[in-house]
Copies of this chain bind each other. A is one copy, B any other.
Amino acid sequence: MSGQIKRGVSLYSFQEEMFLGRMNVEDVVGFSTSIGAAGIEILPEQNMPTFPHITDAQIGEWQDMLSRHGAHFTCYDMFLDTKLRKGELLSDEEQVESIKRDLTLCNRLGIRNMRVLIFVRPDILEKCVPYAEQMDVHMGVEVHAPWHLEHAWILRTVDVADRLGTRHLGILPDMGIFMKNYPPEFRARFERQGARPEVAQFIVGQHQQKIMCEYTIYEVAVKMGGNKAEVAMAETLRHAPYANPKRIKDYAPYFRHIQAKFYGMTEDCIDPAIAYDEVIPELVKCGWEGTLSSEYEGNRWIQDVEEVDSREQVRRQHVMFENLIAKAQSELEIV
């Protein structure tokens, strides 16, 4: 069986180097193809300085650049500034217009997947479906922790997609929802900020046991008299859930792209936090054909003590992807 899961990279992963001017988008694209991750996810509001005004010439330059490296676009990360004006939200019509603007640009760029921010209302998206179909762009609501694939808010979007019978509305999971273990990078930073090792260990242990986060926060804040760093560490548990990877098969028809969130890889190319070893077999089993798009978010946790090396982190994640995909495929063939 040939590999059906594709590998790619979101430009989000290189925010540290790009923010500091140490890499430009072409550097990222070149690096990505060098590790076999030819699918490029962009955030136009990050990577296109003249956004939302993008000329055909600019688009041509992007396409030429991608071609030079043998890369291609996979996904467009949209934003929606409902709070553009102080004190009032955009009207429903304005929200629809903003999304249509993004769908148009997506289409002009030749991108067929658009990441929709999770807070966008399902009824607003419903109004955008005809235009998304016309532009042939799949609108995927990002399922981001602390939501999960089955959260009632997400099910509302799935219901709209089912009711309309459209293939242009669905979801776009961010793998941060499968945090099986507490990231060592989080713990280390809170310890540098003053969390006592025994309290940090308590929090990690509570997460390991999957105890309701509010209980742990209460224990740390009230019963243990936690200091600022300890309470802040406990509060990260609100955003550190471990959703059930077995649900992937049920929702695979609704997503075509995955944001492969991670916070740090070990030297031997293992993700200590996110359960890719459980996620990837599920994707392989159901024959999913989209892109695993690296979303490195470790920079903010280590930049106070070490030089961020997003390339090395992303490289390691892709070694892991190759290993896990190959393993899952060979196990599938045996069975």
Which residues of A are in contact with B by a Cβ distance under 8 Å?
A: 121, 146-148, 150-153, 155-156, 209-212, 214, 238, 241-244, 247
Q: Is the interface of A mostly helix, strand, loop or mixed?
A: loop
Are the CB atoms of A150 and B243 closer together than 8 Å?
A: yes
Residues in B neighbouring A211, C-beta threshold 8 A: 153
* Nearest B residue (CB) for A242: B152
Taking CB atoms, residues of chain B closer than 8 Å to A214 are 238
CB-nearest residue of chain B relative to A118?
B212
In the complex, which of the residues A147, A150, A247 has the most CB atoms of chain B within 10 Å of its own CB atom?
A150
Bound-state Cα–Cα, A241 to B151, Å: 9
B241-A210 in contact (CB<8A): no
Residue among B147, B155, B156, B210 making CB contact with A152, cutoff 8 Å:
B210
Nearest CB in chain B: distance from A297 CB, A: 20
Give the residue of B153, B155, B210, B247 whose beta carbon is less than 8 angstroms from that of A151: B210
State which of B121, B155, B210 has its C-beta within 8 Å of the C-beta of A244: B155
Q: Are A212 and B150 in contact (CB under 8 A)?
A: no
Nearest B-chain residue to A153, judged by Cβ: B210
- In the bound assembly, the distance between CA atoms of A241 and B147 in angstroms comes to 12
Given known contacts A150-B150, A153-B209, what 9 new A-B pairs fall within 8 Å (CB)?
A121-B209, A146-B212, A147-B212, A150-B247, A151-B210, A153-B210, A153-B211, A153-B212, A155-B210
Q: Distance in Å from the Cβ of A5 to the closest Cβ of chain B?
A: 24
Bound Cα distance from A105 to B62, whole angstroms: 73
Of the residues B152, B209, B212, B247, contact of A241 by C-beta under 8 Å = B152
* Inter-chain contacts of A247 with B (CB < 8 A): 150
Residue on B nearest A151 in the bound complex, by CB = B210
Q: Which residues of the other chain, B, contact A241 by a CB distance below 8 angstroms? A: 152
Q: List 23 A-B contacts (CB under 8 A).
A: A121-B209, A146-B212, A147-B212, A148-B150, A150-B150, A150-B243, A150-B244, A150-B247, A151-B210, A152-B210, A152-B241, A152-B242, A152-B243, A152-B244, A153-B209, A153-B210, A153-B211, A153-B212, A155-B210, A155-B244, A156-B209, A156-B210, A214-B238
The residues of B that contact A153 with a CB separation of less than 8 Å are 209-212
Chain B residues in 8 Å Cβ range of A244: 150, 152, 155
Chain B CB count within 10 A is highest, among A156, A238, A241, A244, for A244
Contact residues in B for A148 (Cβ distance below 8 Å): 150
How far does the Cβ of A256 sit from chain B's closest Cβ, in whole Å? 22
From residue A254, how far is it (CB to closest CB) to chain B in Å?
14
Residues of B with C-beta under 8 A to A146:
212
Nearest CB in chain B: distance from A100 CB, A: 23
Separation of A153 and B208 alpha carbons in the complex (Å): 10
Q: For residue A156, which residues in chain B have a CB less than 8 angstroms away from its CB?
A: 209-210
